Amino acid sequence: MLKKLFVYAQNLTRIGFYLISDLKIHLQTTDYGNFLANQTNPLTVSKIDTEMRKRLCGEFEYFRNHSLEPLSTFLTYMTCSYMIDNVILLMNGALQKKSVKEILGKCHPLGRFTEMEAVNIAETPSDLFNAILIETPLAPFFQDCMSENALDELNIELLRNKLYKSYLEAFYKFCKNHGDVTADVMCPILEFEADRRAFIITLNSFGTELSKEDRETLYPTFGKLYPEGLRLLAQAEDFDQMKNVADHYGVYKPLFEAVGGSGGKTLEDVFYEHEVQMNVLAFNRQFHYGVFYAYVKLKEQEMRNIVWIAECISQRHRTKINSYIPIL
């Protein structure tokens, strides 16, 4: 089943492409079929990207329209992360005085909602909550971040992380309460997601004015690192100290060791690889909701791979074409 669903990037790179239109012909032989048939020439990477996103969005809508409770709640939870990203993106755009239309094009279609475009009216987080997001699925995640601070870049970043934190916690709780195989499959994936966020927050906060106490409040309060690891992470001051923390955990030790190794992988790549592995494993079980999550995430990874390859082709960086994240 997996073989049929996903385009293997290996197949894409093994055969040499010289033009993006060659890629198009190759994609025709896969599950994607003729989705680029009606695009006028010349084909660009962004056209491929938007078409693929549209396709994924259509598939997701299909799942959603045919879902019953509690699957529909589960699917709503899945869209929330994209919604948070979109809201933050729009607010950043408003800060830089960009036009809403321009940013709307960059928003992920899965996280689209009607009130989204009015986000730039708000000046403080509580404004944002009271006026705009109160009726969206994002509303419950706002409990921690009601403040009257003006929205500058740092505050927006804080807001994003706080929102993410409460979102992940809520999603985790939902999956845990659902129990059964869904919990078995989803909890490890979400735990990894939480830990990854903790690492990334720590990494990004080096050299900023974020205090260690504030940093700790941003960590999601579950996952393998919780609570001791998080306390240690909050004290970390550079990458090596972070790595020391990770060394205490059997899961993360090999990941950190792989960083910078063969092929110059970044921490992000390593995390992506691990995520792909976990998502692939979700397909081994039956009768659970995790497959929907895994399917969307893997499809996204596949899209990133295709976009990466297409970029490499169009910018003639043929040497880097192999540094995508292999699915399986």
Partner 1 sequence: MGSLFRSETMCLAQLFLQSGTAYECLSALGEKGLVQFRDLNQNISTFQRKFVGEVKRCEELERILVYLVQEINRADIPLPEGETSPPAPPLKQVLEMQEQLQKLEVELREVTKNKEKLRKNLLELIEYTHMLRVTQTFVKRNVEFEPTYEEFPSLESDSLLDYSCMQRLGAKLGFVSGLINQGKVEAFEKMLWRVCKGYTIVSYAELDESLEDPETGEVIKWYVFLISFWGEQIGHKVKKICDCYHCHVYPYPNTAEERREIQEGLNTRIQDLYTVLHKTEDYLRQVLCKAAESVYSRVIQVKKMKAIYHMLNMCSFDVTNKCLIAEVWCPEADLQDLRRALEEGSRESGATIPSFMNIIPTKETPPTRIRTNKFTEGFQNIVDAYGVGSYREVNPALFTIITFPFLFAVMFGDFGHGFVMFLFALLLVLNENHPRLNQSQEIMRMFFNGRYILLLMGLFSVYTGLIYNDCFSKSVNLFGSGWNVSAMYTSSHPPAERKKMVLWNDSVVRHNSILQLDPSVPGVFQGPYPLGIDPIWNLATNRLTFLNSFKMKMSVILGIIHMTFGVILGIFNHLHFRKKFNIYLVSIPELLFMLCIFGYLIFMIFYKWLVFSAETSRVAPSILIEFINMFLFPTSKTNGLYTGQSGYTLIRKESEEEVSLLGNQDVEEGDHQVEDGCREMACEEFNFGEILMTQVIHSIEYCLGCISNTASYLRLWALSLAHAQLSDVLWAMLMRVGLRVDTTYGVLLLLPVIALFAVLTIFILLIMEGLSAFLHAIRLHWVEFQNKFYVGAGTKFVPFSFSLLSSKFNNDDSVA
The Cα 248–Cα 92 span in angstroms is 37
Does position 328 interact with partner 1 (CB under 8 A)? The reply is: no
Does position 37 interact with partner 1 (CB under 8 A)? The reply is: yes
The Cα 215–Cα 57 span in angstroms is 34
Token pair, residue 237, equals 């001051």
From 17-25, 45-53, 77-85, 291-299, give the range in contact with partner 1 by CB under 8 A: 17-25
Does position 117 interact with partner 1 (CB under 8 A)? The reply is: yes
Q: For the chain, give the number of residues.
A: 328
Candidates 50, 67, 92, 130; binder of partner 1 (CB under 8 A) is 130
Q: What track of x and - describes contact with partner 1 for positions 40 through 79 (by CB under 8 A)?
A: xx--------------------------------------
The Cα 51–Cα 48 span in angstroms is 5
Q: Which residues contact 84 (CB under 8 A, 6 or more apart)?
A: 111, 138, 141, 160, 163, 164, 167
| 117/216 with CB nearer partner 1 | 117
Work out how close the CB of 113 gets to partner 1 at its nearest, in angstroms, rounded to a whole number: 11
| 120/161 with CB nearer partner 1 | 120
Q: What angle do CA 206, 207, 212 make, to 5 degrees?
A: 60
Work out how close the CB of 149 gets to partner 1 at its nearest, in angstroms, rounded to a whole number: 19
Residue-wise DSSP of 78-114: HHHHHHHHHHHHHHHHHHTT--HHHHHHHS-GGG--G
Does position 31 interact with partner 1 (CB under 8 A)? The reply is: no
Q: Rule CB under 8 A: which residues touch partner 1?
A: 15, 17, 21-22, 25-26, 28-29, 37-38, 40-41, 100, 114-118, 120-121, 130-132, 134-135
